[in-house]
Each structure stands twice: as C-alpha cells, then as structure tokens.
Amino acid sequence: MTQQKKIDKREAGVSIILIFVLFLVLYFFVTLFFKKPSINDQAYVNNNFNVFGLNIPQDLTFCEEKIPIDNFEIRNNLEKEFFTNEYWKNNSAILFNKIAKWFPYIEPILKEEGVPDDIKFIAVIESHLSNKVSSAGAAGFWQLVPSTARNYGLIVNSQVDERLDVEKATRAACKLFKDAHARFNNWTLAAAAYNLGIGGIERALKEQNTNNYYDLLLNKQTGEFIYRLLAYKTLLSSPVHFGIKKSKIKYSPIIPVKTYVVDSSITNIGFLAKKLKCSKVQIKLLNVWLIGDELDNPEKHKFTFRIPKNLNKDYSSYYLDLISEDGYLDKQINDEPDLFVKDTTLITESKQIMYHLVKPNETLGQIAEQYLVDENEILKWNNLTSVSQVSVNLKLEIRAKK
C-alpha cells in the first residue's frame, strides 16, 4: 500500500503540473487575441513583409520644439503619417541614397544661416531632393514659386532659373524660414508657413484665436504637413523604428569643382565649354540653372559656373537629381531647347549622351565644333552616311567625350 500511495502522489503531482502548463498556454492565447491594444501600439509591414510592433517616439521633437503626443487627436494624425504612408516602404533605399548625396550640401548652409538642422527634412518632403517642376510652377529642391524666389534674391527668367541651383535655393529658403520665425517665434509655425504662406498662417491664427499649430484647422495639405515632416524625420534619422535595418547613413563627398565667375553675356555656351576645355554637357549638368545656350547679362550679374575637377569621374547619380524628372533641363521655361539629356542612365565613365536639334542654316561642322567632336563621329552615331542627310529639326545624338 505504501508503494501504491507514492505512485498515486507522483501521478497527482504530474497532473497538477500539466494542468498548470495548460492554464498558462490558454492564458497566453486569450491575452494575445483579446487584450485591448495600448493606444501607443501599432503594426507595420515593411517591404519584406515582416511585421513589427511600433509606436510613436515619446521624445518626438521638431527643431527642439516638443510635440504634444499625449493629445489624442495629435497622436491620431501622427499615426496616419507614420503607419499608413506607403512611400518609404517602397522607396526608403532611394531616400537614403539621396540624403547621403545632398545633405552634405544643405546642412552647412542651414548652420551658416542660423536655421535649425531639422529644416532639411522639408526639402525631402517637398521634392524628394530632386529638381522637379510642379504643375503649379514651383521648382527645385525647395519647390519655390517664381515670385517667392525673386523676393528672396533668386533670378528667375527665360534664361536663368536659380531655383535649380541647390545651394542658392537653400539660402533663399533659409531667409524665408527666418522671416517666418521672426513673425511667429516658433519653428513649427514657420514650417507650416512655408507650405501655406506667412499671411495664410497669420490669418488662421487670428481667426481661430490661437498661437499653436496643433490647434489650427487648416487645409488638408498644410494640416498634414508637420505630421508628414515628423514621420520623414523619424524614418531618415532612425530607420530601425520602421523595421528597416540600416546603419548610420554615410554621407557621400561633395563633388570637387572648379568655379568660374562670369559677369558678361554669353552668346553660346559651346564657346564657353571650349574655353574651359570641357564638353557642353558637362557645363549644363552641373549648372542646370542656365536654361538655354545663351545668357543676356546687361546688368552684369555675377554667375558662377561649376565644373568637376575630375572630368573623367562619373557623377551621373548627382546629375539624375539635378535635371528635371522628364529628362529636359526645364522644358516649361525653355520652349525650344536644342540640348537636353534624354536618358541620363546613358551617362557613363566613357561617354555622355545628349541630343541636338538642328537649327536653320546650321552646318554639321558647326555642330561638331560646338561639342568638340568629329563630323564623321556624329554621322556614325546617327547611322547617317552623308552630310546631306543632316536637315533642319533633325535630332542628332551626340556622345560627348570626357
């Protein structure tokens, strides 16, 4: 009997342990499926289809101004941008590549101008760091409209568009931000004013009797602007927050350039290229602010042309961002371009491809001289057998040698 009692006690102990284990398993599944999620919990699926538990950063700031994330409506607006915006899921690698190239240009200017570093993320959401031209006429990395650009010292006309000069446009944008900050004494409102205009934010603050961006009822674009800005800042500063395995972004070196200051008119950019001992396309690609081939300069403004010190190095990834998205340097301003880059993926270490539209009374010899190439090479590149086949409005492929 004593032995039987020991066996019974051992079996009872095992049963109790099994019941306890089953209880723990059951409790785990019940908690998993029926527990109400915290207001701070979110799910995110990245482009590798991995699910991560995420939240809004507790110490979220913009230009060192703390974001009131404890407010339910503000948190809700942030969550919409943080977890429903699809752009970075498919394009985060492109954005990381772009900021590695262009933040080294933008950050020092912001510092020199006394503008907070976080302002650089506005250029990212405005243009994704490309010289795009919007349907509303805004252009460049900072998407300045012509009137605003002129107000802040940039030249915008049929021959020159300095909005496409990254450094000059950044300085102009800094002046605008500083003016807005002087008016509102708040960088968040200054950023919103960049989107809506200083006057627009002033009217909204007065009509709604507040001095806080987060209390304002604004149009959809401006109402989402700061929340999107915060989401992009988090993505590009802390990509791991979105489940993206990315170490600290290593900035690319700035292109070493030689600069030439011109304070006179230019009748043909091809002659300037010849003087500088480079190709016409090498001038155009780093100086896309010059729209056509000519520059009338009766006021003797000083224009700085930049040429790579190493003409044999491939900077095509930079050029892709500097030219407008459809391949033209700026077709909206220059109605009859005779030079445009059709496909910059063809820019390689051995050649650069561009296209020339033959003008009336223009000879093949003149075209060859303009691009520093041989007439026979032009014929070969275009599958032509005779000079007589070169006619007005014919589009010629030019392979400019470096």
Given a cut of 60, whether residue 133 has pLDDT beyond it is yes
CA angle 141–330–366, rounded 5-degree value: 135
Q: What is the mean pLDDT of residues 146-175?
A: 96
| Predicted local distance difference test score (pLDDT) of residue 262 | 92
**Cα 249 versus chain centre, distance:** 15
- Which of 167, 79, 185 is closest to 131 using CA atoms? 167
Tokens 């003016």 correspond to 179
pTM assigned to the model: 0.69
Given a cut of 70, whether residue 381 has pLDDT beyond it is yes
Query: How far apart, in whole angstroms, are the C-alpha atoms of residue 279 and residue 191?
Result: 41
pLDDT tens for residues 289-298?
998 888 999 9
How many other CB atoms sit within 10 Å of the CB of residue 80? Answer: 14
The tokens for 114 are 């006394």
Cβ partners under 8 Å of residue 62, min gap 6: 118, 187, 188, 191, 226, 229, 230, 233
Cβ partners under 8 Å of residue 281, min gap 6: 339, 341, 352, 354, 371, 398, 400
| Predicted local distance difference test score (pLDDT) of residue 342 | 32
Query: How far apart, in whole angstroms, are the C-alpha atoms of residue 195 and residue 163?
Result: 17
pLDDT tens for residues 67-81?
998 888 888 888 888
| Predicted local distance difference test score (pLDDT) of residue 334 | 37
| Position 254 confidence tier, pLDDT thresholds 50, 70, 90 | very high
Given a cut of 70, whether residue 13 has pLDDT beyond it is no
Identity of residue 30: V
Query: How far apart, in whole angstroms, are the C-alpha atoms of residue 126 and residue 123?
Result: 5
Identity of residue 176: L
pLDDT tens for residues 178-233?
999 999 999 999 999 999 999 999 999 999 999 999 999 999 999 999 999 998 99
List Cβ<8 Å contacts ≥24 apart for 43-47.
43/83, 44/83, 44/242, 44/243, 45/89, 46/89, 46/242, 46/243, 46/244, 47/89, 47/90, 47/92
| Predicted local distance difference test score (pLDDT) of residue 147 | 94
Given a cut of 50, whether residue 358 has pLDDT beyond it is yes
Given a cut of 80, whether residue 20 has pLDDT beyond it is no
| Predicted local distance difference test score (pLDDT) of residue 50 | 37
Sign of CA dihedral 102, 163, 117, 112: positive
The torsion angles phi and psi of 263, rounded to 5 degrees, stand at: -120, 20
Q: Which secondary-structure segment (H or E) carries 44?
A: strand 42-45
- Which of 225, 236, 285, 238 is closest to 98 using CA atoms? 236
**Which residues is 339 bridged to in the sheet?**
356
The tokens for 176 are 């605008």
